[in-house]
Amino acid sequence: MSFKLATTSVSPPVLLAPLAGITDLPFRQLVASFGAGLVVSEMIASGEFLTDRPGSREKAELGATVENTSVQLSGRDAATMAEAARMVEGMGAKIIDINMGCPAKKVVGGYSGSALMRDLDHALTLIDAVVDAVDVPVTLKTRLGWDDDSLNAADLARRAEASGVQMIVIHGRTRCQFYKGAADWAAIANVVQAVNVPVVANGDITDAATARAALDQSGAQGVMVGRGAQGRPWALAEIAHALFGADAPQIPTGAALADMIATHYEAMLGFYGADLGNRVARKHLGWYMDNASTPAALRREILTSRDAAQVLKALPGAISDSERAAA
C-alpha cells in the first residue's frame, strides 16, 4: 500500500509525526535512514518565520529540501500563512502541512493549532490561502475536534479536501484530551468515509500491533508515529516491514547501537553548535539509555556532562555494556 502526493511517493505509508524539540533535522535523517514514507518537520510558526526570529528560519531552511520531507506551518492569519508557505516552497519544500491539531496552551492561546477547530470558517480561510499560494501539495494535521461535544473532524476534512488539501492526518483525541486517555482510532473512520484523499491515523501508535489495530479500526491508508520513535528511530521501519512488506530494518545492538547513538549525538552538536547541541541531545540520550537499562549513576553522569568528548567516551559502556548485562 502506498499513495502519492504530486511527485512524492509516500511508500511505505508510515510517517514520522512532527514533535516540537524532537523531530529536528538530525533525528528526521536518522529515522529516514531506517525507512519512512514521509517525515514532517517541527512546527514552524508562520508569524515568527516571517519576522526571522532565531530558530524558525533555520529549521525550515535546513530541512525543506530533504527527500520525503514535509514542512509544517501553523498560524492564525491567512495572509501570513500564505506568505510563509510561498517562502518555504521557494526554499525547496515539496510538501507543506498545516497544523490544526497542536493542543499546547501557548499555541491554542494564539488562536492557532487545534483552536482553529472551534471556528471552521476561519480555519478554511487559512487552508484556502495556503493552497492558493503554492504549487506543491498541501496537507492537514488535526484532531477529532475541540472536545467531545464538537467532534467536527469529518466536516473539516470534507471542506479541506474541497479546498485542495491532498492528505489528512487525524490524531484520535480531542484537543481537550491533550494526550490523556487512549486514542480513539475507530472515530477516525468517520473522516475516512467523508473524503477521497488519503487519511492517516495518529495517536498511540508505537509498534506493529498498535499500527495494525489503528488501520483496522479506522480504515485509514497509513499511520503516523510520534512518541513511539523516541529512542527507537527504527520503529517506523519495523512497522513498515510487518504491515506493508518493506525490507526489515537492521536494528543495531551492542557496539553498533552505541556507534549509531554517538553519530546521532555528533550530528546534533554539528547542527546546533556544541553548547545548545549538548543540551538538546540529552532527551534523546535519555531515551536511548532508558531502553538499554543503563545504570542510574552512569546515566546521570552522561546527562549532566557538558563535555562532548566525555559523553562520547562514556556511551559505549552506557549502551553496549548495559545491553550485555541485561541479556
36 CB neighbour count, 10 Å cutoff: 28
Res 54: pLDDT: 44
Res 60: pLDDT: 54
Res 56: pLDDT: 54
* Contact (Cβ atoms closer than 8 angstroms) between residue 168 and residue 191: yes
What Cα–Cα distance (Å) separates residue 275 from each residue in 162, 270, 302, 313? 47, 10, 14, 18
47 labeled part of a ligand binding site? no
Helices assigned H by DSSP within 97-207? 105-109, 120-133, 153-163, 189-194
Res 6: pLDDT: 86
182 CB neighbour count, 10 Å cutoff: 10
143 labeled part of a ligand binding site? no
Q: Where are the beta strands (DSSP E) in 205-313?
A: 222-225
Contacting residues for 321 by C-beta, under 8 A, at least 6 apart? none
Nearest Cα to Cα of residue 284 among 229, 236, 204, 321: 229
227 labeled part of a ligand binding site? yes
Give the residue extent of every domain in the chain.
3-244, 254-326
**Distance from CA of residue 59 to its chain's centroid?**
14
CA-based angle 315:230:32, to the nearest 5? 95
Res 178: pLDDT: 63
Res 154: pLDDT: 96
Res 150: pLDDT: 78
Nearest Cα to Cα of residue 5 among 198, 169, 200: 198
- Specify the pTM: 0.92
- The letter for the amino acid at 265 is Y
CATH architecture of 3-244: Alpha-Beta Barrel (3.20)
Res 169: pLDDT: 97
Q: Which residues are catalytic?
A: 102
Contacting residues for 102 by C-beta, under 8 A, at least 6 apart? 43, 74, 108, 112, 113, 114
Determine the 3-state secondary structure of 303 from DSSP.
helix
Q: For the chain of 327 residues, list the mean pLDDT of each consecutive stretch of 10.
A: 87 94 92 95 86 58 76 92 92 92 66 79 95 98 84 96 98 78 94 97 97 98 96 97 96 94 96 92 96 93 95 92 54
